[in-house]
Amino acid sequence: MSTKRFYKKTLPVWILFLGIFVATGLVWQATRWVYADTLDKLVKVGRERLTLYSGTLREALSRYAYLPYVLSQNMDVQILLKSSFNVGLVNRYLELLNSEAGSDALYVMNSIGDTWASSNWREPLSFVGKNYGFRPYFTAAKAGHRGAFFAIGVTTGRPGYFMSYPVEEDTRFLGAAVVKVDLTPLQEGWREGGETVLVSDSNGVLFLSSRNDWLYRTLTPLSEAQRTLILAGRQYGDKSLDLLPLETVETLAEGAKIVRFENALYLLLSRPLTSLNGQLHHVVPLAPVRERAQAVAVIGAVLALLILALGMYARERRQKQLSRRKAREAEAIKEMNLRLQAEITERSRTENTLRETQAELVQTEKLAALGHMAAGIVHELNQPISAIRTQVASGRLLLERKETGQVRDTLDAVTRMTEHMASITAQLKIFAHQNPKIKEQVLLQDCLDEALAMVDPLFNEFNILLHKDIPERPLILSGGRGRIKQVLVNLLRNAVDAMYACPQRNLWIKVSISDQDVEISVSDSGSGIAEQDIDELFTPFFTTKEVGKGLGLGLSISYRIVADLGGTIRAQNRPGGGARLVIRLPLINQGNGANK
C-alpha cells in the first residue's frame, strides 16, 4: 500500500478523533457553565431568603422586646421588689399583659434571682418561687444591661427566647423583669414551607431548626469550657449537643459553602444575627443543580454527535467535488509550473544583482557614518581643548601675579574640562558595552547641582536665563551618580544647543513627585522638534545638528541609562514653543531601601 493511499484511509479516523475531542471539551465547558450559573442563581435566591427569614425573626422578637422595659417602669412592680407587697396585684397584671401581648410568659425576679410574680402563677408549673439567678439573662440585667438568651425552660421544659431588663431605683438593683417568647410557631412555619432554616447561638448550637433531627446539635465541636458554661446556665437541659456531621466540600464565598450530609450535597448559606448573638442558616439541596448540569451534558453530547455526523457527511461530499476539480486543474498546473520555472531563473539573476548593490551601499554607509562620527568627535573635543589653553594661559598670568587663590579655581576649571572630554570619549564605550548592574543610592538634588555647574559656562556664554522649580525634600534615586549626572548634562546641553539662534533664551527645570516616581522636566524656548524627528530622537547617531556639532549619541545613551534604572524618557513640544524632555525615575524609600 502506498503512502498516499494510507494517508487517505487514515485521515478520516484522525478527523473523527479530533472532532470527538473538541465536542467533549465543548460539552464539558457548557456543563460547567450551566452548573456554575445555576449555583450562582441558587446562592442569590438563598441570600434573598435569608434576608426574609432574618426580617421575620427580628419582627417576631421586636413585638416583645419592649415588655421587660415596660415592666421595669411599673410602680407596682417596683413596690413589690422593694417591700414584697402587691404580689397578687402584680401577678394579675402580668397575667393580663401576657394574654394581650401573646408572649409565652412574663415574670419578675428579685435581686438574687427568686421569682416573686409571674403570669403563669395559676398554672401547676408556675415560675413563682423558683430561682433563676444562674441564667445569663439575669446576670446581664444585674449588670445593668438588657439580657437576651435562648434556653430550654428549667421548670416547663419548653424552649423559649428570654429577654430581660433591670428594675432599679436610682442606681440600686431591685431585680429583673423578664419575658419569655415561644419561637416554636416560627420554626413550624419554616418546616411547613418546605425550607431548611437553622438558627445557631454563639457556640454553634442549633436552637431553632425546621428539621427535628438537627435540633440541639452543633455545627462545630464544643470545647470543655463551652460545655461547662452551657451546663452552668442550664441552657439546653439534658440535651447531649452532638456534632452535626456536615462535611465542608467547597467554600464559595463568605457565608456560602457546599457541605455533604449523608452522601448528599447541600448549599449552606449563613448570615450573622447581631441581636441574637448567633447566626441564621439556610440549607438548600444541590440535587436540582446537578440534575440540570447532567441534562445539559446529555443534550450537548447528542448535539455534538449529530454535528459530527453531519460534518463527516459534508466532508465526504467535498472530497468528491475536490477530486473532480483536481482533474480539471491538472493541465493548468503544468502550464503554471513552466511559467514559475522561468520566473525563478529571472529572480535569481535579479537577487544576485541586488546583493552586490546592497554590499556596496553598506560599505558606503559605514564610511559615511565613520566620517560623520570622526567630525563630531573632533568638534566636541576642540572646544574644551581651546578652553584649556585659555585657562592655562590665564593660570600662568595669575602665577606671575602670585594670585594663587585664583590659580586653584583655574585648575579646577581645567579639571572639569578634562573630565568633560573624558565623558565625550566614554560615550562610545558606554554605547558599545553593557551598563553596570551595581547601583547606589544618590541624591537627585546633588546630581542636578553638579550637572548645572558643568554647563554653567554655556549659560553665561549664551546669556541663558535659568528657571528652577525643585522641591526641598531629599529625593533618593537608585543608580550611579555619574550616570544620572551624564543624563542631566546631555539634556541641558541639548536645550542650550536648541536655543543657539533664538533672541530670548529661557531654560526651565522642574522636578515633581508623582505617585512613587520623580519626574524631571527640562524645557527650552527654542524652535522645538520637527514631528517627523520625535520618533527618531533616541536612535543612535541620529542628530539634527550640523556636521561636526554632535555625534547623535547623547540622547541614545541617556535613553539606555534611564531604561536601565527602571525609568522612562520622552520628548515633546511645548505649547508656547520650544521642546521639553521629561524623565521619570523610581524613588527609593529611605527607611528600607525599597521602592515606595
Contact 159, 212 (CB under 8 A): no
Q: Which residues of 409-425 are buried (b: 16+ CB within 10 A; e: fewer)?
A: ebeebbebbeebbebbe
Residue 384 shares a structural domain with residue 452 = no
For the segment 100-129, the average pLDDT, to the nearest whole number, is 92
Closest CA to 127 of 119, 135, 138: 119
Structural domain includes residue 1:
no
Q: Which of 164, 182, 200 is the last residue of a domain?
A: 182
Lowest mean pLDDT among 331-340, 420-429, 510-519: 420-429
Residue 410 shares a structural domain with residue 465 = no
Q: Which of 433, 462, 494 is the last residue of a domain?
A: 433
Residue 361 shares a structural domain with residue 415 = yes
Closest CA to 376 of 542, 558, 559: 542
Checking if the pLDDT of 431 tops 50, the result is no
Residue 425 shares a structural domain with residue 473 = no
Containing 510, the helix (H) or strand (E) segment is: strand 506-514
Residue 571 shares a structural domain with residue 549 = yes
Contact 512, 502 (CB under 8 A): no
Structural domain includes residue 88:
yes
* pLDDT tens digit sequence for 370-414: 555 565 566 566 667 877 888 788 888 888 887 777 777 778 778
Residue 386 shares a structural domain with residue 334 = yes
Residue with cell 583655574: 410
* pLDDT tens digit sequence for 225-283: 888 888 887 888 788 888 888 888 888 888 888 888 888 888 888 888 887 778 888 88
Residue 468 shares a structural domain with residue 582 = yes
Contact 26, 300 (CB under 8 A): yes
Checking if the pLDDT of 362 tops 50, the result is no
How far apart are alpha carbons 451 and 530 in whole angstroms?
27
At residue 217, the 3 state secondary structure works out as: coil
Q: Which three cell numbers stand for residue 246?
A: 456536615
Q: Which three cell numbers stand for residue 472?
A: 526641598
DSSP for residue 214 = G
Structural domain includes residue 499:
yes
Residue 494 shares a structural domain with residue 407 = no
Please count the other Cβ atoms lying within 10 Å of the Cβ belonging to residue 90. Answer: 25
| pTM of structure | 0.47
Q: Find residue 514's DSSP bridge partners.
A: 517
CATH value at residue 467: 3.30.565.10
| DSSP output for 274-292 | TTTTEEEEEEEESHHHHHH
Tally the domains of the chain: 3
Please count the other Cβ atoms lying within 10 Å of the Cβ belonging to residue 569. Answer: 21
* pLDDT tens digit sequence for 327-358: 778 777 878 888 888 888 888 888 788 777 76
Give the chain's end-to-end CA distance (angstroms, integer). Answer: 72
How far apart are alpha carbons 300 and 251 in whole angstroms?
29
At residue 585, the 3 state secondary structure works out as: strand
Residue 411 shares a structural domain with residue 473 = no
Higher per-residue pLDDT: 363 or 123: 123
Q: Which of 156, 182, 208 is the last residue of a domain?
A: 182
Containing 442, the helix (H) or strand (E) segment is: strand 441-443
CATH value at residue 173: 3.30.450.20
Angle formed at CA 111 by CA 105 and CA 113, multiple of 5 degrees? 50
Structural domain includes residue 297:
no
Q: Side chain identity at 353, as an amino acid letter?
A: T
CATH value at residue 354: 1.10.287
Closest CA to 47 of 280, 215, 205, 275: 280
Residue 357 shares a structural domain with residue 446 = no
Residue 354 shares a structural domain with residue 450 = no
Q: Which residues of 365-392 are buried (b: 16+ CB within 10 A; e: fewer)?
A: eeeeeeebeebbbebbeeebeebbeebe
Contact 206, 198 (CB under 8 A): yes
- Phi-psi map region of 309: left, alpha, beta (phi>0 left; psi -120 to 50 alpha): alpha
Residue with cell 448549599: 267
Closest CA to 145 of 166, 163, 172, 169: 166
Look up the domain containing 418 and give its range: 329-433
Structural domain includes residue 259:
no
Closest CA to 144 of 227, 236, 36, 72: 72
Structural domain includes residue 274:
no
- Phi-psi map region of 175: left, alpha, beta (phi>0 left; psi -120 to 50 alpha): left
Residue with cell 452522601: 263
Checking if the pLDDT of 361 tops 60, the result is no
Structural domain includes residue 42:
no
Structural domain includes residue 23:
no
Give the model's confidence band at 109: pLDDT under 50 very low, under 70 low, under 90 confident, else very high: very high
Residue 574 shares a structural domain with residue 465 = yes
Give the pLDDT of residue 592.
44
